[in-house]
Amino acid sequence: MLNDSEAKELLTFLTLETRPDVKSQATEYILGLTASRDGCRYLRTKTDFLKALLTLTADKSVAIVKDCYHALVNLSADETLHQALVKDADILPTLLRNLLDPEYMFSDRICTILSNLSRHERTCKDLFEVLQAQEGVGLAKIVEIFCTEGYNKAAPLHYLGLLLSNLTQLPETRQFILDKERCVVQRLLPYTQYEESVLRRGGVVGTLRNCCFDYVHHEWLLSDAVDILPFLLLPLAGPEELSEEENEGLPVDLQYLPEDKKREEDPDIRKMLIETLLLLSATKPGRKVLKDKNVYPIMREFHKWEKEPDVVAACEKLVQVLIGDEPEGGMENLMEVDIPEDVQQKLKDLDAKEQEQLEKEQQELRKAEEEEKNHQHQQPSEDPQR
């Protein structure tokens, strides 16, 4: 790492007025530092470098600006730097101002930085406060940008979905999205089937799942005013042929699906969709809607098809709710039920078993990849002189 005098000298090169070739070498060096954890932690104590990187995002050289944003992305991926980045008076306002520019070519990198900084609740709240205080920005503007196709021709802005998902950790964001007068949730629903981007789909599904923790809105979400159920079920439905009776009980969009119908390809999104259905089934009215709308046949066929253990486990939990009797005592809300200690332990054991199985499969996959890599290295190379 640099000593204090070397750091001070390097900082003098990170200005807009510095000669381009010198400035380029300086930014490349900083970018190299951010590629390692030790380098990131070192820069955490050198906040002047963070300010310099931000300043150089306005440089005339595209290459220099690209390196600066790349460095900021790396820094934002390190949780120990989050406070330094969100507490700086200029960083978030500058990033948000640039994000609003429909011609700004580095908006995707800004989205990545913002989604990184909003992963944890503490800095997510800081970011939210700046977002709401920034003139011309706010949650309403973020949703508008996200839902405007081609808002920025140079950047698809898919990572805004992850930002929205992270922001729904906060009750203030969930309240905004679930506001009956704003119709925000209705604008987001079609993106559960957005084929062009798994990031955008996953961000929206994560947003919906988080919003469903607020169970007081379940009846409204399942009503005709929102009709959330088909948007959650359709990505889980396959081409399997159901009986006429089963089809007729389903929402119209789920009836008689074509033979080429494909399910959601990403297992994490499939799991989040099921978790959202589970949350909706926590309340008695929600369970009634899911049962009346014949969700069970869709999940039955999904269970036969699904291969990922953790997704299968989530599916089985939902199926148990769908085929089970109502809890004794007419419990209205399962989210408010005190679970007996022995049942809690069984659930913990089940989760531990699922995690153990997942880790075992990941180890086997890594082992297979390593063996394949070693096998490739052992192959004799051809003689170029021949």
User: Which CA distances in Å does 171 have to 174, 211, 243?
Assistant: 5, 9, 42
Q: Identify the pLDDT of residue 297.
A: 94
pLDDT at 384 over 50: no
pLDDT, averaged across the chain = 88
Task: Give the 3-state DSSP-derived string for 9-26, with helices as H, strands as E and coil as C.
Answer: HHHHHCCCCCCHHHHHHH
Average pLDDT over residues 151-170: 96
Phi, then psi, of 150 in degrees rounded to 5: 75, 25
Residue 176, token pair as written in the block: 């905004």
pLDDT at 295 over 90: yes
Q: Identify the pLDDT of residue 4.
A: 86
User: At 254, which helix (H) or strand (E)?
Assistant: none
Euclidean distance between the first and final Cα of the chain, in Å? 47
Task: Give the 3-state DSSP-derived string for 312-365, with helices as H, strands as E and coil as C.
Answer: HHHHHHHHHHHHCCCCCCCCCEHHHCCCCHHHHHHHHHHHHHHHHHHHHHHHHH
235 in a domain, yes or no? no
25 in a domain, yes or no? yes
Q: Identify the pLDDT of residue 383.
A: 37
Q: Identify the pLDDT of residue 356.
A: 60
pLDDT tens digit sequence for 231-282: 999 999 999 999 999 998 899 999 999 999 999 999 999 999 999 999 999 9
224 in a domain, yes or no? no
Residue 385: pLDDT band by 50, 70, 90 thresholds?
A: very low
Q: Identify the pLDDT of residue 45.
A: 86
String of b and e for 44-56 (b: at least 16 CB within 10 Å)? bebeebbbbbbeb
Q: Identify the pLDDT of residue 1.
A: 76
Question: Which burial class, exposed, middle or buried, applies to 89 when counting CB atoms under 10 A from its CB (0-12, 13-18, 19+)?
Answer: exposed
Distance of CA 101 to the CA centre of its chain: 23
| Single pTM value for the model | 0.83
DSSP state of 267: H
Residue 163, token pair as written in the block: 């930002």
Phi, then psi, of 141 in degrees rounded to 5: -70, -40
Average pLDDT over residues 327-333: 54
pLDDT at 208 over 60: yes
pLDDT tens digit sequence for 39-74: 998 998 888 999 999 999 999 999 999 999 999 999
Q: Identify the pLDDT of residue 339.
A: 41
pLDDT at 352 over 90: no
Q: How many Cβ atoms from other residues are within 10 Å of residue 193's Cβ?
A: 12
42 in a domain, yes or no? yes
251 in a domain, yes or no? no
Residue-number span of the structural domain to which 79 is assigned:
12-88
Q: Identify the pLDDT of residue 203.
A: 97
219 in a domain, yes or no? no
Count the domains in the chain.
Answer: 1
Rounded to whole angstroms, how far apart are CA atoms 252 and 264?
A: 19
Residue 324: pLDDT band by 50, 70, 90 thresholds?
A: confident
164 in a domain, yes or no? no
pLDDT at 5 over 70: yes
pLDDT at 332 over 60: no
179 in a domain, yes or no? no
